[in-house]
Amino acid sequence: MAISEVVWDMDGTLLDTARAVPAAYIAATEELCGRTVDRDEVLRLYPVGPPAEILARLVGRVLSAEEEEAYYRRLGESPVDPFPGVAETLAALASRGKRLAVFTGASHRAAEILLASAGIGPDVLIGGDEVPAMKPAPDGLAMAAQKLGREPGELAYVGDSPLDMRAASAAGFAAWSPSWGHMYEPETPADRVLDRPGEVLGLLNGF
């Protein structure tokens, strides 16, 4: 079945958040408990869940909704940029009537903050706090397919981490791995490896 639309990961795929997101966690942890953590510790916790889960692990206790605001405040203070070629690729897709769908492990709110900072407005946005199970479970991508009104076999997921590729396969999506991503690993099985965002345009049916 030909691929007609794409669902994108956010961090490390659409947006270069390698500094902004860890910095927000580091600053929020310091504010909430006085503990100093480093970027590597934050990155190791990315697979555990959305921001509330990661921040609670860093601080060492369950946090109130008010305390979680420390992370979102810091996140909003750090502008982020799309990777080179992303804005042009998304504009080209939109010009052909292709919708922009994003499924990210970040919370819906964090994704809104970061995407808005980068000037990106998705048509479909699914955060990690909106699905029953995190990647590599297929839940988020199954939800995306439903929202797009497409069969999984008509869709590709572009995501930089091994968990993204496993989630794509589990959901019945084509798994496209962006080599520019933060967590890209060349040995991770993928249906395609992309060297630049614009390669997506040549891979879509009827583009």
CA dist list (Å): 123 to 3, 17, 148:
18, 21, 9
Q: What global pTM score does this model have?
A: 0.94
* Composition of the chain by helix, strand, coil, percent to 5: 45, 15, 40
Which tokens belong to 8?
């994108």
Q: Is the peptide bond before 84 cis (omega within 30 degrees of 0)?
A: no
- The identity of residue 147, as a single letter, is K
64 C-beta neighbours (distance < 10 Å), count? 7
pLDDT band at 8 (very low <50, low <70, confident <90, very high): very high
Task: Supply the pLDDT for residue 207.
Answer: 76
Which tokens belong to 16?
């270069």
> Partners of 174 in the beta sheet?
156
Q: Give Dmax (Cα) for the chain.
A: 54
CA dist list (Å): 153 to 16, 184, 187, 204:
28, 23, 24, 12
pLDDT (tens digit per residue) in 46-83: 988 899 999 999 999 999 999 999 999 999 998 899 99
User: Quick one: average pLDDT of 144-155?
Assistant: 98
Percent of the chain scored above 70 by pLDDT?
100
pLDDT (tens digit per residue) in 169-194: 999 999 999 999 999 999 999 999 99
pLDDT band at 206 (very low <50, low <70, confident <90, very high): confident
